[in-house]
Amino acid sequence: MTTIASSALSAASSSSSSTTSSSAARIADNFDQFLQLLTTQLKNQSPLDPLDTNQFTQQLVQFASVEQQIKTNDSLASLLVANKTANVTNAMGFVGARVTADGTTSALKDGAATWQLNAPRTGQATITIKDKNGNEVYSTTKTLSSGDQTFSWDGKKTNGETAADGQYTIVVAAKDANGQTMTVTSEISGTVDGVDVTGDTPVLDVGGILIPVTSVKSVRR
């Protein structure tokens, strides 16, 4: 009895790893098979050595647990689909809006690229602009005030040439009035052209720069 019932249970448990629809069908088939085997054994058991009813109860409970887990998985799958739909709907609301987000890469367009910098204290900073390949194209020294401030680059390289439109990254190395190194954070802003919702977190396309929604700090139209 135990070997036969355990085999049926094993088949039912392994089926739970497949899709919920096929799993439900398999657990039903295995449960029917289990009941048929159980009925046959009860009809043919020896009166002097009856089968252990506790084993029947335990195996029935296990079948019920597997079936309940399949139903739970089915409910979770439905919730995930609903959540995905909600994320897509919410993300589409960003299209056409101007957002500000944490980041160091901004787009140079029409002779202008802008970053929002935040310094914890007043100090001197060396600001370096690099292209998408990591090559330095511009560098300058600037006094930073404490708090938020804007840094704009007109696209002119250090050698006087005009840089091509595209993505550029800012690197800020700063020291305060006491000569102590300080961390300057940067933000970027731009208009959202589109949204990529193929991943778990929607990603905004801002002038060719991809920004996760979780990095967005402000939105305005």
Please report the pLDDT score of residue 131 as a whole number: 95
What's the pLDDT at 209?
Answer: 87
Q: What is the pLDDT of residue 30?
A: 66
Question: Does 172 score more than 70 pLDDT?
Answer: yes
> Taking 50 as the threshold, does the pLDDT of residue 3 lie above it?
no
Residue with the bigger pLDDT between 73 and 59: it is 73
Q: What is the pLDDT of residues 30-45, one digit of tens each?
A: 667 766 766 776 677 7
User: In three state form, how does the secondary structure of the chain look?
Assistant: CHHHHHHHHHHHHHHCCCCHHHHHHHHHHHHHHHHHHHHHHHHHCECCECCCHHHHHHHHHHHHHHHHHHHHHHHHHHHHHHHHHHHHHHHHCCCCCEEEEECCEEEEECCEEEEEEEECCCEEEEEEEECCCCCEEEEEEEEECCEEEEEEECCECCCCCECCCEEEEEEEEEEECCCCEECCEEEEEEECCEEECCCCCCEEEECCEEEEHHHEEEEEC
pLDDT reading at 27 higher than 80: no
How do residues 89-147 score in pLDDT, each as one tens digit?
Answer: 777 788 889 999 989 999 898 899 999 999 999 999 999 999 999 999 999 999 999 99
Question: In the prediction, which pLDDT does 152 show?
Answer: 94
Query: What pLDDT score was predicted for residue 17?
Result: 46
Q: What is the pLDDT of residue 24?
A: 59
Which pLDDT score, from 0 to 100, does residue 2 have?
42
CATH number of 98-220: 2.60.40.4070
pLDDT digits (tens, 9 = 90+) for 75-84: 787 777 666 6
pLDDT of residue 53: 67
Return the domain boundaries, the chain: 2-92, 98-220
For residue range 180-189, list pLDDT tens digits in order: 999 999 999 8
